[in-house]
Amino acid sequence: MKKIGIMTTGGDCSGLNTAIQRIMTGARLRGWDVYGILDGTDGLCVNPPAVIKLDDMLLPIENARLAGSFLHNGRATALNFETAAETGRTESFNKQLRKSLRALQFDALILIGGNGSLSLAWANREIYRDLQLICIPKTIDMDIPLTDRTIGFDTAVQQLTTFCDQLMLTARSHHRWFVVQSMGRDCGMLALHAGVAAGASAILIPEIKFDINKLVEHIKKSNSDYGIIIVSEGITLRGHSGRPADMISRKLTAAGIVNRTAFPEHTQRAGDTTATDRILATRFADCALNAIDNGETYVMTVLECDSVHTIPLAEFVSSGDCVSDPKIPELMTSNAYVSPDNPLLNIAHNMGIYIGEQK
């Protein structure tokens, strides 16, 4: 009988509980014992390790649709890869993780995380040398290379779109524009998708240079006196500081355009998991369990042209745009961004949406 563990790390998102529940179900049908590690790596830094045995009573299927992680994703004040690096305790931290995993005697560990978590897993793969490591990509940012979708992205797009839909009604009532700041870090995928879905008048993302004067001109020449401008949190405006939405709002106000800012913040990570994300989580869970059956390790599940399969974790690292992590300088994280040939950019342009000066 196999003994497998599940761990969620990094930021939370919708779809994590679906993945946990489906892994639990599929593993138990195989006759395996399934344990959840609480609070990510934090749960491996206590003695004994903080784990719970998973069953239908703990996570019933009707709760699998809920946002967040039933297993939690860790506390900001706890010892983790970031705080260990900041305090010079990386070596002792890694030693503790290895010790805890040996004590737990897992045959395999399924790690559900974003690009930072997956990059850390590869960089510190020695920690997992005694078990099979299977990674499942999740993030609302969609900044993980080699997979067409990540768990949580579709729900986040829906959440942000719904937020903009509601703002559009009050915008129309008061003849004003709303500058909405989306999440996404340095990747504009979330802003781009939600902006097209909501019918935004402008979408500003980090990957595409924009001219603030051209944006003002675009708004003034539009056939409307209200609308939505979506600004990704990763954009910058030369000579200005502060939150991106505030910077854009000040420029619009100076040009005589009545506007307000709006910050959906962590509601983008919330919301009942959409059917699309539930299906993706289920497919990734099945793929991860099959990978364990096949004796695979250091692999990641991916969706590619509607096919779900695994790729070596090394390919994920080498194929992305690797940059130094701001909190762990020695760590190179693998990133994906909105490609210049992304079809949504052309579609947005054809629909009269200002998306910058790439045209």
Task: List, for residues 58-97, the tens digit of each pLDDT value.
Answer: 899 999 999 999 999 888 777 788 888 888 888 999 999 9
Cα 221 from Cα 356, distance rounded (Å): 16
Task: Please tell me if the domain spanning 3-152+273-319 has the same topology as the one spanning 156-269+340-350.
Answer: yes
Tokens representing residue 287 in the block: 């793929």
Shortest CA distance to 356 belongs to which of 175, 229, 190?
Answer: 229
CATH classification number, 3-152+273-319, choose in 3.40.50.450, 3.30.1180.20, 3.40.50.300, 3.30.365.10? 3.40.50.450
pLDDT of the residue at 359: 53
Handedness of CA 328, 334, 337, 339 (dihedral sign): positive
Alpha-helix runs per DSSP H in the chain: 16-29, 81-86, 90-104, 115-123, 153-174, 189-198, 212-221, 244-254, 275-293, 313-319, 343-350
Contact 315, 118 (CB under 8 A): no
Selecting among 39, 141, 277, 325, the annotated active-site residue is 141
Domain residue spans of the chain: 3-152+273-319, 156-269+340-350
Q: What is the DSSP letter of 271?
A: S
The pTM of this model reads: 0.97
pLDDT tens readout for residues 190-242: 999 999 999 999 999 999 999 999 999 999 999 999 999 999 999 999 988 89
Question: Could you tell me which CATH number the domain at 156-269+340-350 has?
Answer: 3.40.50.460
Specify whether 55 is catalytic.
no
For residue 210, the surrounding DSSP H or E stretch is: none
Q: Given pLDDT bands bounded at 50, 70 and 90, which one contains residue 2? A: very high
